[in-house]
Structure 1
Amino acid sequence: MKKHICICLITLSIFYCQAQNSTSDINLRTTFNSPVEISEVSTDTYLLDFGKAYFGTVELKSTTTQNDSLVIHLGEKLNAQNRIDRNPGGSIRYQRIVLHNLQANTITNIEVIPNKRNTSGAAILLPNSIGVVMPFRYCEIENLKIPIENIEVFQKATHNNFNEEASSFSSSNAILDSIWKLCKHTIKATSFTGYYIDGDRERIPYEADAYINQLSHYSVDSLYAMGRRTNAYFIKNPTWPTEWLLHTVPMFYADYMYTGDLEPLKEHYENLKLKTLMDLEREDGLISSSSPQMNEELIIKLGFKKPDTKIKDIIDWPPAQKDTGWELATAEGERDGYEIVPVNTVVNSFYYYNLVLMAKVAEFLEKDDDVVFFQNKAATIKSVINTKLFDTKKGYYLDGENSTHSSLHGNMMPLAFGLVPKEHIKSVTDFIKTRGMACSVYGSQYLLEGLYKSGEAQYALDLITETESDRSWWNMIEIGATMTLEAWDVKYKPNSDWNHAWGTAPLNITTRYMWGIKPKIAGFKVAEIKPQLADLTFSNIKVPTKNGIITASFKKDKNTEHYSIEIPKEMTAEFTVPPIFSKIKHNGKKVKITNNTVYFTSGVHTIELKQ
């Protein structure tokens, strides 16, 4: 039987700004975390649980010398015997390190063995002063001949500067609260390179990963340097999936809306136009990655180093089994059977969204001719998609031109990007609701966005808080992860890792759509607050902005909803009243409103809503 040892929890955060890859503004910190639990698992062997996984190493300090060797095991996952899993599968991490002795009154740092793939090539490299790190939650110390009480053991965690106090969330749904905390910790812990990377297996920025990471990061902290650094990285370092390239404009747009700083848009405007891939348009306006215009000249313009780079459509990851060679849980991978044809619905939905955002970017930069240019293009694409890619008999979208198949992806993307005409929103959402979570953790971002935008808040909340299926965030918690996974489970992606920030959709969705708190005017000069709290009976949230923190609370009793919202100085806000309510009190006084909107100045506001 295990012997548990009572300990004092100590967490120390220390220093330091570090230059990396000639970038001087990366603000990496080291936090020293004590174990939350120490167990004696056998004679001379102890298991230390630090509570959460971080990227780092272990630091030891002993009051007594041990001349015999110690064996240190580090890992993210436990096995059925409650020991660190020596063969965890996928890209879940484990290491065995031999420490030849332990000297008294000397700080000893465990030297982690570097992984060749994530410490070379295109991987973002850490400065020499930090050294090699790996993700781990657990540490086993084997062959310890001195009393465990005589040593201090710290998880020496590396992460970017992060303000823990800037954000918080709680609600009447304990599952939702746990998932929110899982996602927030993921954002902090995966920041250890100072860039938005995909995960530990590669440590490379990819646009789709980075966009979800950015939305979640900006929802819990107002330190925007890492996002902006990553955005700039993609200008010269694009990645090859078509849909990934089409995340570049949304990333730059999101940054401007949160920061209010036009300089990145000014500096990279021409490149952003390229990244819309409008060069691939055919006569009717739709685009295809198999277009003859996808030539060496365009590849180089887009920023690729090799002119023979092949750009292709992925439609969620992992793709079908025939494309990967893996033994996947489902033969179609995460595509919901999506039929990839040369002119397909997902890619052109992304293209439409890029054109809509570029019209706004051009307006920000006072490029009037370009505003009209992009608006006209967007209108054309919307019309063509709804003419050629929509099945009027079914009432929802096909996967692409000449396809007869309809998937979740081919419908959730048009819904998320505002392509669906009002008269077809019900039939499209009805179809979507028959598919469940038939997408990856990445695709869930757009599924949830589309559902909230079309008034399906309860179904969206049910998907987020699902506990019966392994295609859920709760499954990540149940199997022992403390960061979001790259895939719902290893069986859905055999090489997946346990530290992928693109799995944090519930974090930004909770802020931006469930509570509906987003910048309406760039730089959060005006905030939009449009709550869709479904069957929650209470909730509290803190949302950081560049101007201060928005704090809000909600309570429901019978047919009345109560809100208390504090708006920081130098800000105003527009609160959208759900249309089911007709009786409205603002700061205790009955009010009549237009466009379902109550306007807030800075300060504390109370709203009481009755049907």
Structure 2
Amino acid sequence: MLKYCSLIFAVIVSLDVCNAKEGPETSISKPAINHDGQSGFEAMLSRGYTPLFNGKDLSGWWNPYPHGEAKVVDGEIHLMANEKFFLVTKKKYSDFRVSVEIHLPEGDANSGVMFRCHVDKDAEKKVYGYQAECDGSDRRWSGGLFDESRRRWIWPSTKGRSQDQFLEHEEESKAAFADPTIAGALNRHGWNRFVITCIEDRITIELNGVPTVTFRDTVDASGYIGIQHHGEDDQTYRFRNLFIKELPQIPAEDSVSLTDQAPVSVKKISDNITLVDFGKVAFGNIAMRVPQGGRGEGKVHFGEKLKDGRIDREPPGTVRYGVSQFRNGSGEIGTWIVPTPVDVRNTEQAGATRAHPPAVLTPKSWLPVMPFRWVEIENWPGEFKPEYIVRRAAFATGWNDDASSFECSDETLNRIWELCKYSIKATTFAGVYVDGDRERIPYEADAYLNQLSHYTTDDDVEMAARSFDWLIENGTWPSEWAPHMVFMAHAEWMYSGDDEWLKHRYESLKAKTLMHRSDDDGLVRSNEMDRTRHDIVDWPQKERDGYVFTEINTVVNAFHIEALEQMAEMAGAIGKDEDAKAFETRVELARASFQKTLFDEAEGIYRDGIGTDHSSIHANFFPLAFGLVPEDKRAGVIAWLEKQDMHCSPYAAQYFMDALFSSGSDVKAIALMTADGDRSWKHMVNSGTTISWEAWDLKYKPNQDWNHAWGAAPANLLPRYVLGVQPTAPGWTTAIIRPHPADLKHAGGKVPTSQGPIQLDWQNKETFTMSLSLPEGMTAKIDLPAADGTTGVYVDGEKVAAKQVGDRWLVEKEVRGEIEVEVQ
């Protein structure tokens, strides 16, 4: 989706978290380490890590030195010695993410985490290799990269203690560690979490959520993990929660299956070319009968796009085409798996020449896969029959086509629903939500939109939580993408109601609110790099409706405030009452500043930022979608937006439609979704695509891909708004049924929830009627359209207490089970 910044990796948004000003909000500005080690242990297990230390004994560890004592005390490893020594694992590791918590003793103290290190039992300095420094001195080089008993300081470097090759960056590296963010990252008198990630030649170190080192080095590719006592007499070094996650992870191994699909047509189009159509695009490869007879080589062409009745072999953008070869007369019998060509970008873990998060790999046993609909078989000897070939398509193992449905009186909307629902299914191939097939890297905004639509189309949605855990460790660089992590956690919690899952991830979300960039007025600031690189507003850039970027950006601040509001709700739910109050106070401050400085009273709409009079649709629909517009200003903002066209991308259209639907502008929302021209979902379905696009058309993003789930927003918009089904409490214990009929005559369908499916059907004719079936144990509020002249609401033929508010009827008592409703 986005080209990754070469200098930034993983949790970039947590940079400067320690730079926030001290005050009541300090506790919510950066992650905290629990004093209770057991809660940290459970959290790491929940996130898929493997213990290096079981909390009971030193199984799996050894001391290669004749001195030094290691013992287990209350679930911690305690090291004691009067000479330096290291305790090391018995097993070697190559690529991994390792997490260790260290508590330094008072007084002179120095420790660290060894990784990919080595042991020479015959040497005086037996353990040598890479170390993440834990520096208890005033020098404050904790989080630095040291090469123990070998090349010494790598980053930062210093004369007399570094080799010449590292002295080339002495000034730069010392400046980095002089910055208060890194210099202040160590909690000198408490627990500190070190996270070291090694992927191929790339090493990153984080200390208490602050990235301190990103460095490439080719000396060691594998080795042991170790912990250090520096040798001070009578000092005890404490270690706990030692965990590792070996890389690469391949999520699809346990969550995705290959399905054999027969072609829908096989057509001979020339003497030596047969065109095979599988009906829709899917990620996969083919199994094909071994050709008998003939000589020479044949080819299998895979493609997403046709041109003049043939697979387009030079498709635009990143629309996919590839070719694989087979051999005639090979002497083999049976069936071959014909892999698709490998795009190196889809398999890179560290990036050979530029840094980026690791691509999500698919299982080796599958052989390579790619998205394609058509196959051309070239130079097959004799007749090629349909039974000779199947596509091995990758879908989530638990995907249930019958879990959801939608049908209404507008056939275009029905076609849009089918396109978008299938888009969600087809993009489950990787086991986590990736950004299509250009990079196969999850991005936070892509994943959140994918998550919303997965919830409304399927009843097996563990992929959402899995994608969250992937992104919390492999974050990307845009400003607004970080708050999307808060949105993902909140959405998962609302779906599942799992407080324990949330507790284990809550602290990591504090670095995602952008609070480290906010000032005393509660508003986020954007420096020059933010304004030119990090602040997104919309993507691609040409879809920003002329947005003017300033230091105080309306869209960035709207995301910031919404993230704080959701954090306040989640903090309260898991018993973090002080945090909840601090978040609420910060929200109140930021809301007041937002309205005072960014709203144009004369025009009645929001400006793009402080210092410009320009007002884009983005500066108005994001605040409206997030509920930031005061009640007395809503009518003006809504009226202005109702005059606008789709001057935004499919990504931002999710929020544009959210804003319109939730404000009662359902007629406008559906009109935009089904508009003529090339900026609507109607254009997508009329194009013949079978998976949603990244952009409205190639002319708006020439390098777009054709298999991008963030373009499938109607998969969640139609169930959530046209049917009107949304949760009001975590775990779907309560819901609201609030249909937005617009000009539709009827709509109905099935919406999956964690409690079971909700089924409903409404008719919008002389009166508004609805049949509703709720799963057992769920209750719901009903909010119905109030046509002119209606006087009340009847449930199962009996009038019920209801209040008319504007053009809606609100039924006072919650309903349950199966009911018939009529507005009369």
TM-score (structure 1 length as normaliser): 0.88
CA 1:64–1:24 in 2, change beyond 3 Å: closer, same or farther? closer
Tell whether the 8 Å contact from 1:551 to 1:565 is kept in structure 2 after alignment. Answer: yes
| Counterpart pick for 1:440 among 649, 668, 674 | 649
> Which of 452, 474, 482 does residue 682 from structure 2 map onto?
474
1:168-183 aligned within 5 A: 168-183=405-420
Report the equivalent of 2:325: 98
Q: Partners in 1 of 2:618 and 2:263 — Cα distance?
A: 43
Deviation at 1:507, TM superposition (A): 1.0
- 1:491 alignment partner, SS class: coil
Aligned to 1:557: 765
Displacement of 1:62: 6.1
**Residue in 2 aligned with 1:376?**
585
Q: Separation in 1 of the partners of 2:428 and 2:555?
A: 30
Q: Give 1:347's aligned amino acid.
A: V
Deviation at 1:144, TM superposition (A): 2.8
Determine if the alignment matches structure 1 residue 167 to structure 2 residue 404: yes
- Residue 340 of structure 2 is aligned with which of 105, 112, 115? 112
Q: CA deviation at 1:289?
A: 3.4
Of the three residues 412, 415, 426, the one matched with 2:621 is 412
Other-structure match for 2:692: 484
Preserved contact between residue 484 and residue 504 of structure 1 (Cα < 8 Å): yes
Alignment of 1:556-595 (within 5 A): 556-558=764-766, 560-580=767-787, 581-594=790-803
CA 1:148–1:261: 2 relative to 1, 3 Å: same
For 1:156-555, list aligned pairs within 5 A: 156-161=392-397, 162-290=399-527, 312-319=534-541, 333-466=542-675, 468-555=676-763
Higher Rg of the two aligned structures: 2
How far residue 151 of structure 1 moved from its aligned partner, in angstroms, is 4.3
Larger mean Cα displacement after TM superposition, 167-176 or 375-384: 375-384
The amino acid across from 1:350 in the alignment is: F
Deviations 1:45-90 (A, max 9, x none): 22111111000011112685554432211100111x1111111110
Q: Is the 8 A contact 1:20 1:127 kept in 2?
A: no
Deviates more, 1:423-432 or 1:589-598: 589-598
Q: Please state whether the residue corresponding to 2:300 is helix, strand or coil.
A: strand
Secondary structure at the counterpart of residue 819 of structure 2: strand
Shift of 1:22: 6.2
Deviation sequence 1:242-261 (CA, Å, 0-9, x none): 01111110100000000011
After superposition, the CA RMSD in angstroms is 2.0
Q: Distance in 2 between matches of 1:82 and 1:120?
A: 34
Q: In structure 2, what residue type is equivalent to 1:575?
A: I
Instruction: Check the 8 A contact 2:250/2:360 in 1, yes or no.
Output: no
Report which of the two has the higher share of strand. Answer: 2
Across the two proteins, how many residue pairs are aligned to each other?
560
Within a 5 Å distance, the mapping from 1:52-71 to structure 2 comes to: 52-61=280-289, 65-71=293-299
Kept in 2: contact 1:62–1:150 (CA 8 A): no
Distance of 1:409 and 1:388 partners within structure 2: 17
For 1:607, the equivalent position in structure 2 comes to 821
Report the counterpart of residue 99 of structure 2 in structure 1. none
Partner of 2:177: none
Match of 2:811 in 1: 597
Q: Deviations over 1:71-116 (max 9, x none)?
A: 211100111x111111111000011222112778511111211001
Determine the C-alpha separation between the residues in 2 that align with 1:540 and 1:101: 53
Alpha-carbon separation, structure 2, partners of 1:354 and 1:91: 33
Higher mean displacement: 117-126 or 244-253: 117-126
Q: Which amino acid aligns with 1:561?
A: F
Residue 302 of structure 1 corresponds to: none
Partner of 2:302: 74
Checking the alignment, whether the CA contact within 8 Å between 1:63 and 1:151 is kept in structure 2 is no
CA distance in 1, matches of 2:800, 2:816: 19
Alpha-carbon contact 1:290-1:312 (below 8 Å) kept: no
Q: 1:501 is aligned with what amino acid? A: A
Q: Secondary structure at the match of 1:26?
A: helix
Amino acid at match of 2:777: E
Give the aligned residue type for 1:170.
E
What code does the residue aligned with 1:203 have?
A: R
- Classify the secondary structure of the residue corresponding to 1:210: helix
Closer, same or farther: CA 104–44 of 1 in aligned 2, 3 Å: farther
Residues 497 and 170 of structure 1, relative CA distance in 2, 3 Å threshold: same
Structure 2 counterpart of 1:148: 384
Aligned to 2:316: 89
**Structure 2 residue matching 1:413: 3-state secondary structure:** helix
Q: Do the aligned residues in 2 keep the contact of 1:26 with 1:226 (CA within 8 Å)?
A: no
Secondary structure of 1:407's match? coil
Give me the whole-angstrom Cα distance separating, in 2, the residues matched to 1:474 and 1:153.
33
1:228 Cα offset (Å): 0.3
Rounded Cα–Cα distance in structure 2 between residues aligned with 1:572 and 1:503: 32
Query: What is the alpha-carbon distance in structure 2 between the residues aligned to residue 360 and residue 144 of structure 1?
Result: 63
| Residues 22 and 134 (structure 1), Cα distance of their counterparts in 2 relative to 1, 3 Å cut | closer
Matches of 2:748 and 2:461, distance apart in 1: 24
Counterparts of 2:281 and 2:248, CA distance in 1 = 23
Moved more, 379-388 or 55-64: 55-64
Q: Deviation per CA, 1:135-176: give whole Å up to 9, x if none.
A: 001111122332223742111101222111100111111111
Name the counterpart of 2:209.
none
SS of the equivalent of 1:191 reads coil
1:177 Cα deviation after fit: 0.7
TM-aligned CA deviation for residue 470 of structure 1: 0.7
Say whether the 8 Å CA contact 1:316–1:442 is kept in structure 2: yes
Q: Is the CA contact 1:65–1:104 (under 8 Å) kept in the aligned structure 2?
A: no
SS in 2 for 1:492: coil
Q: Percent identity?
A: 40
Amino acid at match of 1:572: T
C-alpha distance in structure 2 between counterparts of 1:538 and 1:369, whole Å: 48
Q: Is the 8 A contact 1:566 1:604 kept in 2?
A: yes
Q: Which residue of structure 1 aligns with residue 237 of structure 2?
A: none
SS of 1:272 mapped into structure 2:
helix
Q: 1:492 to 1:63 in 2, by over 3 A?
A: closer
User: What's the offset of the Cα at 1:222?
Assistant: 2.4
Query: Aligned runs of 1:120-135 on 2, under 5 Å?
Result: 120-121=348-349, 122-135=358-371
Moved more, 133-142 or 57-66: 57-66
Q: Tell me how far 1:224 sits from its aligned partner.
A: 2.4
CA distance in 2, matches of 1:220, 1:186: 10
8 Å CA contact 2:292–2:328 kept in 1: the answer is no
Query: 1:577 Cα shift?
Result: 2.1
Unpaired runs of 5+ in structure 1?
A: 1-18, 295-309, 320-332
Distance in 2 of aligned mates of 1:164 and 1:599: 34
Q: 1:24 to 1:106 in 2, by over 3 A?
A: closer
